[in-house]
């Protein structure tokens, strides 16, 4: 994988950006790199990168998130520390961008610094199992809306097609055609396919790079 200094994950609401961002930050850390993860989600009141804060910090990853995330303070907020992600160029930054174009608006203020440094990957996370991105054309429309909102063009695609705990290899295989079409329509490369780690060995080798991920645990 071609690692950039800044990696931003955005995509349709519920595409799995947060989980990918958390797993990618852990991956970078496992390479021995200094890593910080920024939770730029101003849309979701529940299920955020902050849920994984203890695990990330135990791995030595700095987590930058609103003090209000997961609290009862229902305001979209971004802490000033978020600027560290663009200012501290010795640390690898992973950003979890909120859902859809509304979520991507928050990225706008960091965009000039990210574009100026020009060492970033802006990744579109795609899940074909979501109702509003069942085909490449509808995914492309969302991609364009996000780009318009934040002013940054995407540089690659991650296939994160899944049905949560019910994901089977066929779930992912059913997405291959849509992903290939999305690659063509957008002229962007597929960077990897994210797969729950126990499913990774069950997939064929000709679908590109496989990125094994762990799911966040729940008590239900």
Partner 1 sequence: MAEKILMKGNEALAEAAIMAGCRHYFGYPITPQTEVAAYMAKRMPKIGGTFLQAESEIAAINMVIGAAAAGKRAMTSSSSPGISLKSEGISYMAGCDLPGLIVNVQRGGPGLGGIQPSQSDYFQATRGGGHGDYHLLVLAPSSVQEMADLVFKGFDLSEKYRIPCMLLADGTMGQMMEPVSLPERSAETVEKPWALTGTEGKRKPNIINSLALAPHELEAWNQVRFERYAQIKENEQMSESYWMEDAEICVVAFGIAARVSQNAIDTAREMGIKAGMIRPITLWPFPEKALRAASAQCKAFVSVELNMGQMIEDVRLSIKCRRPVSLCCRTGGMIPTPDEVVAAIVKANEGGKQA
Instruction: Give the one residue of 60, 108, 151, 164 binding partner 1; rule: CB under 8 A.
Output: 164
Nearby residues of 180 by Cβ (< 8 Å), 6 or more positions away: none
163 binds partner 1 (CB under 8 A): yes
Name 62's bridge partners: 36
Helix locations, the chain, DSSP H: 17-30, 53-58, 84-87, 100-104, 111-117, 136-150, 169-173, 176-186
166 binds partner 1 (CB under 8 A): yes
Helix locations, 4-135, DSSP H: 17-30, 53-58, 84-87, 100-104, 111-117
Which CB, 187 or 219, lies closer to partner 1? 219
Which CB, 27 or 47, lies closer to partner 1? 47
What is the C-alpha separation between 163 and 129, in angstroms, rounded? 6
CB of 181 to partner 1, least distance (A): 18
Contact string (CB under 8 A) for partner 1, positions 65-84, x = contact:
-------x-x----------
- Interface positions, 2-31, toward partner 1 (CB under 8 A): 14
Instruction: Give the one residue of 7, 23, 129, 178 binding partner 1; rule: CB under 8 A.
Output: 129
What is the C-alpha separation between 24 and 7, in angstroms, rounded? 9
List interacting residues with partner 1 (CB under 8 A). 14, 44-47, 72, 74, 127, 129-131, 134, 162-164, 166, 219-220
């Amino acid at each position: 994988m071609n690692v950039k200094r800044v990696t931003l994950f955005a995509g349709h609401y519920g595409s799995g950006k947060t989980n990918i961002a958390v797993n990618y930050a852990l991956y970078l850390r496992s390479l021995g790199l200094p890593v910080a993860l920024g939770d730029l989600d101003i849309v979701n009141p529940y299920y955020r990168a902050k849920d994984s804060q203890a695990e990330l910090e135990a791995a030595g990853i700095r987590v930058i998130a609103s003090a209000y995330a997961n609290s009862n303070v229902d305001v979209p907020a971004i802490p000033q520390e978020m600027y560290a992600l663009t200012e501290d160029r010795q640390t690898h930054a992973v950003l979890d961008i909120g859902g859809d174009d509304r979520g991507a608006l928050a990225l706008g203020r960091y965009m000039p610094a990210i574009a100026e440094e020009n060492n970033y990957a802006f990744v579109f996370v795609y899940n074909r199992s979501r109702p509003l991105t069942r085909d490449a054309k509808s995914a492309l429309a969302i991609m364009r809306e996000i780009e318009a909102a934040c002013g940054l063009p995407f540089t690659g695609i991650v296939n994160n097609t899944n049905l949560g705990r019910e994901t089977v290899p066929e779930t992912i295989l059913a997405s291959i055609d849509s992903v290939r079409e999305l690659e063509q329509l957008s002229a962007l490369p597929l960077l990897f396919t994210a797969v729950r780690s126990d499913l990774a060995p069950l997939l064929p080798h000709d679908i590109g790079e496989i990125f094994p991920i762990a799911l966040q645990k729940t008590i239900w």
